[in-house]
A and B are shown apart, each in its own frame.
Chain A
């Protein structure tokens, strides 16, 4: 009834496909939630939002279509952290972005926000390699790397935003028909669901 965001079939397929793979978002933490978590653990300031917008826009920068900053990714990330993650993870991710900003200043002598794009990109690429290596080694019970959470929430928030859905991807709200083998050329964008 059986058997869904996803309907059952889709959920089944997706489950089968993702088994042992990676999933974006808080399902990584299923079972680790604490319902009594204080919401204040993730109060976000204007500086936090500016930093998260800049981190998001470095992960998904503007090109022919706007990037993550344009979809308000900082506000999305803080909202998702507050509502979908437990206090422990909220604290860890928050500590992650505070450290990120401090390390950046130490290394480059100026703030992450407003720094040249190539410099920011290089810095976050190094952090991305670090999170990938951490995720490979970590035990299932260990929390994910803070930058992994930031990256996942950026990708989720961007590609499900109106800009992401209708400009970065293609969107047919009411397809009206089905073609199981439509022609596709490299460079064309995927259909949003």
Chain B
């Protein structure tokens, strides 16, 4: 067994791991960044980013082979021939679904930072205080004041574009200039604002796409091909934003094909002394030593590592002394909303492919606002556009009239779907199934989660409120939609190693330190004590930078 020693080991290279690597190396630590999958180089690794539409073999349609090879990916839009290599191989890495669960994973350098939706919203005290006020789950050990300067910090480096709105439930940030609502969205926004006396507001999405150049990155070129990797560095990813400065310090060692199998826990010091890995290619085992360990492997996989660690002392794994490790899994439930036709605007067209839409911040159950029979709330994401050539034209058959009609843009349409908060339920959990093994002989996760009454009530409201706003804005043929939701489909897994104030009821403390091993930090979605209704990645960035700062300061003080 080969042993190398570092100041810090970061497990996982996605949004959280990239940030941890950047912060720790910039503070002078020698860091080993471990990634279970292959490397993808910035720009040169984006094999299909410049492929023109006519060179896409099946024009984006799913083949029978792909359908058969990807029993999980095929459940949603993520299965696409253009970026199949950005998703984990399901046959190599199976999992058990005790109840249906869509787990979409990115096993490569950059993780899901390459494919993420880039919507970036701050939490507010409405979110941080909700558990305590309602007696749901456990109280967050932090408040907005603890994290706001870290939001400033990560937004400034990542490059988040957005508008300043002065909304208490969706704090403003250090934004690049906002993208633009299109002409229909602007008018719909104005009508909604007027009709609801500004208690509901449609704004441009706050998105991790540059509207101005930033460092060596080029501003967004409005190609809307972010999901292939951007050769301009137009959106935030590990490759475009956090890995370059980390590399520049000379303090970073990146090791792809390194599956971390456990944190090596020393019961004498009551701390981790490093990690053990399985080389995914050679299947050799190595141990790497470090003073601190950052688990940033995605909510479920960081939890998997903990569950597989120190099992001689804790049968349920490192960090399990509270009995909460693996529990309280959350996601955002969505795919409920409304859509309709917009009359007029025939003399307007959109130029450029904006990789962003509108956002309607939460307006339910706000202090002094509209109350509901469920708790928490949801926000909408959507957009307006003219129909394209795939539209059905009932009155035309085939031939020249059809061809000429389809060459022109069709009617304006508008649609939106809500993203709703899921509450932390103790029984929504993941656990290790040691009887089922992956390609490397490692135990797989068993996932057992479902939404409950609060979420179901909310879903009806997600349709109704959407339709109500569109109708108030003069949209025609408004249709409510619930396209169904499978837990995990939001690709916002959270909560299986939650932060808290009490080691008896939480896995991590207020600085993302594992209560049971103070030099182990978990800063990805696993740490979340509640889910809020906004996209979570920006909060992982802020919590990671904050925890890295704390870890280095504790290290210097000799506390860990």
Contact = CB atoms under 8 A, between A and B. Distances in A.
Interface of A: 1-17, 19-27, 30, 33-35, 37, 58-61, 63, 67, 80, 83-86, 121, 124-125, 128-129, 132, 151, 155-157, 159-162, 164-165, 168-169, 172-193
21 contacts: A1-B535, A2-B116, A4-B227, A5-B60, A9-B383, A12-B415, A13-B383, A15-B335, A22-B392, A30-B74, A67-B403, A84-B61, A125-B399, A132-B394, A155-B406, A156-B59, A165-B53, A177-B351, A177-B352, A179-B180, A180-B181
B388 interface: yes
Interface string B58-74: 11111111011000001
Given A8-B117, A12-B417, A1 B180 contact: no
The 6 closest A-B pairs by CB, nearest first: A16-B415, A180-B182, A181-B183, A35-B68, A1-B491, A178-B352
B152 to A, nearest CB: 23
Contacts of B334: 12
Contacts, number: 257
A37 B65 CA distance: 10
A30 B75 CA distance: 9
B347 interface: yes
B58 A83 contact: yes
Interface in B41-69: 52-54, 56, 58-65, 67-68
A67 B352 CA distance: 26
B233 to A, nearest CB: 14
Nearest to A6: B77
A4 B65 contact: no
B16 interface: no
B117 A33 contact: no
B538 to A, nearest CB: 12
B148 interface: no
A33 B338 CA distance: 30
A34 B64 contact: yes
A14 B357 CA distance: 12
B398 A124 contact: yes
B397 interface: yes
Given A13-B357, A86-B64, A155-B390, A182 B385 contact: no
Contacts of B328: none
B404 interface: yes
Given A162-B52, A162-B54, A1 B416 contact: no
**Most chain B beta-carbon contacts within 10 A, residue among A12, A22, A60, A176:** A12
Contacts of B381: 9, 12
B222 A178 contact: yes
Contacts of B61: 25-27, 80, 84, 156
Contacts of A162: 52, 54
Interface of B: 52-54, 56, 58-65, 67-68, 74, 77-78, 80, 82, 104, 112, 115-117, 119, 179-183, 185-186, 205, 221-224, 226-227, 334-335, 337-339, 346-357, 381-383, 385-390, 392, 394, 397-400, 402-404, 406-409, 413, 415-417, 479, 481, 483, 490-492, 535, 537
Contacts of A1: 104, 112, 115-117, 490-492, 535, 537
Contacts of B185: 180
B60 A184 contact: no
B117 A9 contact: yes
A46 to B, nearest CB: 23
B179 A178 contact: yes
Contacts of A191: 349-351, 409
B76 to A, nearest CB: 8
B210 to A, nearest CB: 13
Given A13-B385, A181-B183, A174 B221 contact: yes
A169 B387 CA distance: 13
Contacts of A157: 59
B67 A35 contact: yes
A124 B58 contact: no
B186 A175 contact: no
Contact of B353 (A3, A20, A85, A175): A175
Contact of B64 (A11, A27, A85, A187): A85
A173 B223 contact: yes
Given A16-B339, A128-B398, A181 B479 contact: no
Contacts of A186: 346, 408
A176 B221 contact: yes
Nearest to A147: B398
Contacts of B382: 9, 12-13, 16
A5 B82 contact: yes
Given A9-B381, A186-B346, A180 B183 contact: yes
B479 to A, nearest CB: 7
A26 B357 CA distance: 27
Contacts of B74: 30
Contacts of B62: 26-27, 30, 84
A105 to B, nearest CB: 20
A59 B417 CA distance: 35
B408 A190 contact: yes
Nearest to B419: A2
Given A121-B399, A161-B54, A175 B223 contact: yes
Given A165-B52, A179-B352, A59 B402 contact: yes
Contacts of A172: 351-352
